[in-house]
Amino acid sequence: MVAPLKAGLAGLGTVGSAVARLIAQQRDLIEARCGRGIEIVAVTARTADKKRDLGQAKPRWVSDPATLAADEEIDVFVELIGGEGDPAKLAVKTALAAGKSVVTANKALLARHGVELAALAEKHGVALNFEAAIGGAIPIVKTLREGVSGNSFARVYGILNGTCNYILTRMEQERLSFAECLKDAQRLGYAEADPTFDVEGFDTAQKLALIASLAFGIRVNPDAVYVEGISSITPEDLDAADALGYRVKLLGVAVRTAQGIEQRVHPTMVPKETAIAQVMGVTNAASLDAEGIAPITLVGPGAGGAATASSVVADLCDIARGALAPAFGRPLSRLTECRQAPMQRHEGGYYIRLAALDRPGTFATIAKHLADENISLESIVQRHPGGRPHGGDDPNSPATPAPVILITYATTEDAVRRALNAIKREGVIAGQPQVIRIEKY
């Protein structure tokens, strides 16, 4: 019998204690699958005296993460502290430098310092596994690292933030405003008190940067990701999307273009019949397009103690089995520098919602500026609020804005921005135009 893998666990919140319990519960299964057991021999957390259910584990208490990381007894350090800086970073570096493998759920740390940490892991010949950092229980890292090793990807994209998908689902199904749904999400514990990181797309951007690195062999760089959140989406947008055969999802998309790997996070119109459009509520999903392969889509619970613990334990099992793959799927020398593909050169279809002032010549002005930028329209929907016929029956409010919805054929971000600026300058629309990119399938 091979000696058990000895793990030190830093962070004993929902995920940390779920990890300890799962390992205790599944002792036999893990031994059967890995040829050896896994033991949590030492732990640390912010407060020592809190009551926690760690199953049958009776680990030794260690004062702080960095001390635990250097602990002589442990083979692997499990980092569930969170945050891109210390103490998580110091502890992970300490563990790797001491020749210990690391398992972490910390997307922020990896997105920011992934290259540096992968270099350290490579130098010391140890594993740096982070299945739990993206998509909860969904085996997306393993699939990108090992599952489809022989394929070059054309595009990878996903719904990587359960908070946003929950909000968009509620907005769509119950025609509620963003603010109302956010409040509900906060009440249900799906959104933080300060929701900015989730709803403005930054969480998705960090996860996308990791996925893009694995898929395209680029050095992870969250700053190369164009980011736009969902707070400006209205029920009217979702209604219009529905009528046009789309759903709106906050997607993270990484795609190979002539300009490099384009990485972007933004509300996206996806055709209703695609697998990704079917993903509702807090569920996450990722789709992979490779040559000759219609997308492979992985769908599952994106957060929660059990789901995240499942991925942490799977990563530990790989280490117990002796499997060792480079952190980002290729050795650092084979990862290329990540050039940011300029978003203004993004090509695709656009959904544009304008509040057109209801007076003669408005539409001609809009059409002219679109034509000036060579933007062709696939469809135009003009809806008068309350079903009021064109021209209105109230002669005193000739300039009431009426929503005009335009769907463009493929064009560039640049052209759309220029056309909309010109239209704004003409004073024929009220407020800001709403722009949602359409993803092609």
Least separation in angstroms between CB 272 and its own copies: 10
Residue 2 binding its own copies, by CB under 8 A: no
The strand pairing partners of 347, in sequence order, are 412
Task: State the DSSP code for 335.
Answer: P
Overall size of the chain counted in residues: 441
**Interface with its own copies (CB under 8 A), residue from 48, 53, 152, 379:** 152
Residue 35 binding its own copies, by CB under 8 A: yes
Residue 386 binding its own copies, by CB under 8 A: no
The strand pairing partners of 8, in sequence order, are 42, 77
Least separation in angstroms between CB 325 and its own copies: 7
Least separation in angstroms between CB 273 and its own copies: 8
| Cβ atoms of 152 and 216 closer than 8 Å | no
Please, which residue, 26 or 382, has the CB nearer to its own copies?
A: 26
Please, which residue, 143 or 221, has the CB nearer to its own copies?
A: 143
| Cα gap 78→41, rounded to integer Å | 11
Q: 16: which 2 tokens?
A: 């940390």
Residue 33 binding its own copies, by CB under 8 A: yes
Please, which residue, 278 or 340, has the CB nearer to its own copies?
A: 278
Burial class for 201, CB neighbours closer than 10 Å (0-12, 13-18, 19+) = buried
Q: How many CA atoms lie within 13 A of 278 on its CB side?
A: 8
87 prior amide bond cis, ω within 30: yes
Least separation in angstroms between CB 284 and its own copies: 10
Residues 110-149 that bind its own copies (CB under 8 A): 131, 137-139, 142-143, 145-149
Residue 290 binding its own copies, by CB under 8 A: yes
Residue 334 binding its own copies, by CB under 8 A: yes
Least separation in angstroms between CB 309 and its own copies: 8
| Cβ atoms of 155 and 341 closer than 8 Å | no
B/e letters for 363-376, b = 16+ CB within 10 Å, e = fewer, are: eebbeebbeebebe
Residue 223 binding its own copies, by CB under 8 A: no
Q: 248: which 2 tokens?
A: 């709106």
| Cα gap 80→104, rounded to integer Å | 6
How crowded is residue 394: how many other Cβ atoms within 10 Å of its Cβ? 9
Residue 407 binding its own copies, by CB under 8 A: no
Q: Which residue numbers are catalytic?
A: 207
Q: Going residue by residue from 293 to 312, which x/- string records binding to its own copies, judged by CB under 8 A?
A: xxxxxxxxx--xxxx-xx--
Please, which residue, 30 or 357, has the CB nearer to its own copies?
A: 30
Residue 352 binding its own copies, by CB under 8 A: no
Least separation in angstroms between CB 210 and its own copies: 16
Please, which residue, 131 or 228, has the CB nearer to its own copies?
A: 131
How many residues line the site for its own copies (CB under 8 A)? Answer: 61
Least separation in angstroms between CB 332 and its own copies: 11
Choices 291-299, 349-357, 392-400, 424-432 (CB under 8 A): range interacting with its own copies: 291-299
Q: 91: which 2 tokens?
A: 């502890």
Residue 278 binding its own copies, by CB under 8 A: yes
Q: 11: which 2 tokens?
A: 């962070």
Asked whether the CA dihedral 243, 247, 253, 255 is positive or negative, the reply is: negative
- Alpha-carbon distance values, 224 to 116, 219, 263, 325 (Å): 17, 10, 7, 25
Least separation in angstroms between CB 342 and its own copies: 26
Please, which residue, 151 or 186, has the CB nearer to its own copies?
A: 151
Residue 316 binding its own copies, by CB under 8 A: yes
**Interface with its own copies (CB under 8 A), residue from 9, 12, 22, 68:** 22
Binding site for its own copies (CB under 8 A): 18, 22-23, 26, 29-30, 32-35, 131, 137-139, 142-143, 145-152, 217, 273, 275, 278-280, 283, 290-301, 304-307, 309-310, 313-314, 316-318, 321, 323, 325, 329-331, 334
